[in-house]
Structure 1
Amino acid sequence: METVKHIKIKDYNYPLTDVRIAKYPLSERDHSKLLIYDKGEIKEDVFYNIAEYLPKNALMIFNNTKVIQARMHFRKDTGALIEVFLLEPYAPADYEQMFQTTSECSWLCLVGNLKKWKGQQLGREINIKGKDVFVKVDYEREHHTSHLIKFSWNNNEVSFAEILDAIGELPIPPYLNRETQESDKTTYQTVYSKIKGSVAAPTAGLHFTDNVLTSVSNYGIDLEEITLHVGAGTFKPVKSDEIGEHNMHSEFVCVHKSTIEKLLLHDGKAIAVGTTSVRTLESLYYVGLKLLKDKDLSEDELHVCQWEPYADDVKQVSAVKAIEQIREYMEEKNVNSIHFSTQIIIVPGYGYKIVKMLVTNFHQPQSTLLLLVSAFLHGDWKRVYDYALSHDFRFLSYGDSSLLIP
């Protein structure tokens, strides 16, 4: 583990100028360029042809999370503008329950212009379904690196989801250096997004259209969905010289029994669409290891810690055996889905257990996502990025895509 922690982040740098960053998506999302890395050979195509490069009878897994309008603005009587950025639900802690709440709720948030807030109650009047609703915002307390904020409103017929739709703003990535536009509400969501909870899109999926999904399915590929709610930590830069000093954020995961069954039918192997799907699938392996030791763990105890995969005493079993433990756990608990959180970090030195192919965009220099890609390609990330830079690929969230086959 110590060798892994001493990885120097400066070794994962490349020249990314502003002109390379795609500020807007293409008008047709499946017309983006596709870089194919196939066991060291690099070529390119158009994304809508991706099915041609996939092995028949494989399993492809998508993250069906939906980006919420997590950024809200409130103005004090003095005129000071306070920004409240939702990170994760606190009370109720369950995402589905949270969005159905009809009187009050609490979130862990980031707060912009906090010094100007000074703890005074903020308020904002809005009109929802023809009715006036007054939303009150109270600062509760600091909570680790975030703040606990309570929301309450005076209309029990209005849910928190409707309040967000009325006054929230979709939080597009900060590196786009522009305001959110109405079009982003569509283009910054995958076509298969369903479960509200993310503050950033799983952007590898933005290239898929219904036509592409149909072509992939017709090619004999099984399609399954998991849910990982992407947190703001996905944009957190690595500020330490060595990766061992970087703290990963936790993210909430939900995997259905049907996906577990499909993984077993495919010998514990999958094609992951996006790094969030990678983090979910690889975390499943370590959840299975925990259950091998103790089948009576609660969902809270299934949390996958940041450096867990690199511990010297990690027991190595097959992916199938680990996944079978999860199926047994679900059968014994009589549940159709498993919920846990993961803080996993994937860096060079990590051995992938479940993910065999990866669809992903081009990531920021010196980021944990670039380390994940390097680990997947056994260190050969630079050739991929050199090719993309020299062949006019577009970078980051609204940029082009790659299919990586190590």
Structure 2
Amino acid sequence: MRVDAFDFELPGERIALRPARPRDAARMLVVAGNDMADAGVAELPKWLRPGDCLVFNDTRVIPAQLEGRRGEAKIGATLHKRIDLRRWQAFVRNAKRLRVGETIDFGAGVAAIAEDRLPDGSFILAFGGDKPVEVLLERAGTMPLPPYIAGKRATDEEDRADYQTMFAREDGAVAAPTAALHFTPRLLDALAAAGVASETLTLHVGAGTFLPVKADDTEDHVMHAEWGRIEADTAERLNAVRAAGGRVIAVGTTSLRLLESAASADGTIEPFAGDTSIFITPGYRFRAIDGLMTNFHLPRSTLFMLVSALMGLETMQAAYAHAIAGGYRFYSYGDASLLLPERSA
């Protein structure tokens, strides 16, 4: 499909620069089949059924944004995929001033060699010392806020907590699974009381999620790979949910993409450990999930393509127009949508 089919006008004031407080006070647009309803995240239990299961991503965002120098040149780096204990793939700002073999000094005793430059322009950075890179980042790094927030204000200490979900425990993401930012212990208790179960998986979200789609046609866009894991017992419980007539509702596009990557042709969710670069566009047949809770996404983005694949492009165009007119807040710190296709509404 043509990428411009997924374009829409978004006023700049609709971009949320801070999250709702408390987190579950955010608004939620419910799209069930072709019907829409304005609601709040705290009302989520009434929109689900006993026996349904929410699936969360337990990845933890690391302070993967680094500012350093190569001689007199300022070099910025955003780590986005771990290769091993010492090496990460990174997008580099001012890359024309950096050559393979040169060292970037990030301060606080943290330095890395530009080991290789990849065809997409990113670098392999090899960090010095004997400590895990995640330890070094706690000294020298900052939280990698999305560019549409970082371009409007500086990162601060509040972001270290705000840009982390309550499920975060597995270090490795450089972007938050933002739909889960809306959840609180109080909301989880209310869901459990309503008979709604929850499970977790791990997908380490990469900075590639923010890259614009530069191709004119979706068939020409290449996704960056991200590492994920679904444990065998988690897969078994999720399959049991559907066998009993419950619905598997992914919380966030990251959970959805990993579940779909792990699903067999008949919809059975298999254990999974490895990379996925799944790219979901209209025409895709969903196998593992029955619904999605997600935030509002960028025009022309792979994530808007994904929700259009789930609900239909016209339905999502209408939903986003309603959200914009109704003052919903967009993107990572913004409001939520609950998307229930007609087959599961």
TM-score past 0.5 threshold: yes
Q: Within 2, Cα distance between the matches of 1:345 and 1:86? A: 21
Contact 1:233 1:248 in 2 (8 A): yes
Which residue of 150, 173, 183 maps to 2:126? 150
1:260 counterpart = 2:235: yes
**Residues 60 and 272, structure 1, Cα contact 8 Å, conserved in 2:** yes
Query: Quick check: 1:108–1:143 contact (8 Å CA) kept in 2?
Result: no
Given residue 186 of structure 1, which amino acid in structure 2 is its aligned partner?
A
Cα deviation, 1:285-332, whole Å, max 9, x if unaligned, reads 1xx3xxxxxxxxxxxxxxxxxxxxxxxxxxxx4213xx3xx3xxxxxx
Instruction: Choose which of 71, 74, 81 in structure 1 pairs with 2:74.
Output: 81
Per the alignment, residue 69 of structure 1 pairs with: 63
* Residue in 1 that maps onto 2:3: 9
Structure 1 CA distance, aligned partners of 2:103 and 2:216? 41
Measured after TM superposition, the shift of residue 160 of structure 1 is 2.9
**What amino acid sits opposite 2:331 in the alignment?**
L
Match of 2:105 in 1: 123
The share of aligned pairs that are identical, in percent, is 35
Deviation at 1:161? 2.4
Q: 1:282 aligns with which of 257, 260, 269?
A: 260
Rounded Cα–Cα distance in structure 2 between residues aligned with 1:349 and 1:387? 24
1:405 aligns with 2:340: yes
Query: Deviations for 1:245-285, whole angstroms, at most 9, x for unmatched residues?
Result: 11111111100122111112112641110111110111111
- CA–CA distance in structure 2, aligned partners of residues 19 and 55 of structure 1: 35
Which 10-residue stretch deviates more, 254-263 or 116-125?
116-125
What residue identity is the alignment partner of 2:142?
E
Larger Rg, first or second structure (1 or 2):
1
CA distance in structure 1 between the aligned counterparts of 2:215 and 2:96, rounded to whole angstroms: 27
1:374-404 residue CA offsets vs partner (Å, 9 max, x unmatched): 1111331112111111211011111100111
Structure 1 residue 123, shift from structure 2 partner: 3.4
- Find the counterpart in structure 1 of residue 145 from structure 2: 172
Deviation at 1:234, TM superposition (A): 0.6
Task: Return the letter of the residue paired with 1:319.
Answer: G
CA distance in 2, matches of 1:8, 1:124: 41
Distance 1:247 1:73 in 2: 28
Q: How many residues align?
A: 333
The answer to whether the Cα contact below 8 Å between 1:349 and 1:375 also exists between their aligned partners in 2 is yes
Indicate the residue corresponding to 1:360 in structure 2. Answer: 294
Cα pair 2:77 2:90 within 8 Å, conserved: yes
What is the distance in 1 between the residues matched to 2:266 and 2:102? 55
What is residue 267 of structure 2 aligned with on the other side? 319
Q: Normalising by structure 2, what TM-score?
A: 0.92
Aligned with 1:355: secondary structure?
A: coil
1:125 is displaced (CA, Å) by 5.2
Contact 1:36 1:404 (8 Å CA) reproduced: yes
1:169 aligned partner, one-letter code: T
Matched residue SS, 1:161: helix
Aligned residue number for residue 50 of structure 1: 44
Amino acid aligned to 1:52: K
Q: Does 1:32 align with 2:10?
A: no
Q: Secondary structure at the match of 2:242?
A: coil
Unaligned runs of 5+ in 2: none
Match of 2:94 in 1: 113
Distance 1:382 1:135, change over 3 A: closer
Letter in 2 for 1:87: H
Gaps (5+ residues) in structure 1? 1-6, 93-97, 99-104, 127-133, 289-316, 327-336
Partner of 1:162, secondary structure, is helix
CA RMSD of aligned residues (A): 1.7
1:376, 1:77 → 2: CA distance?
Answer: 49
TM-score (norm 1): 0.78
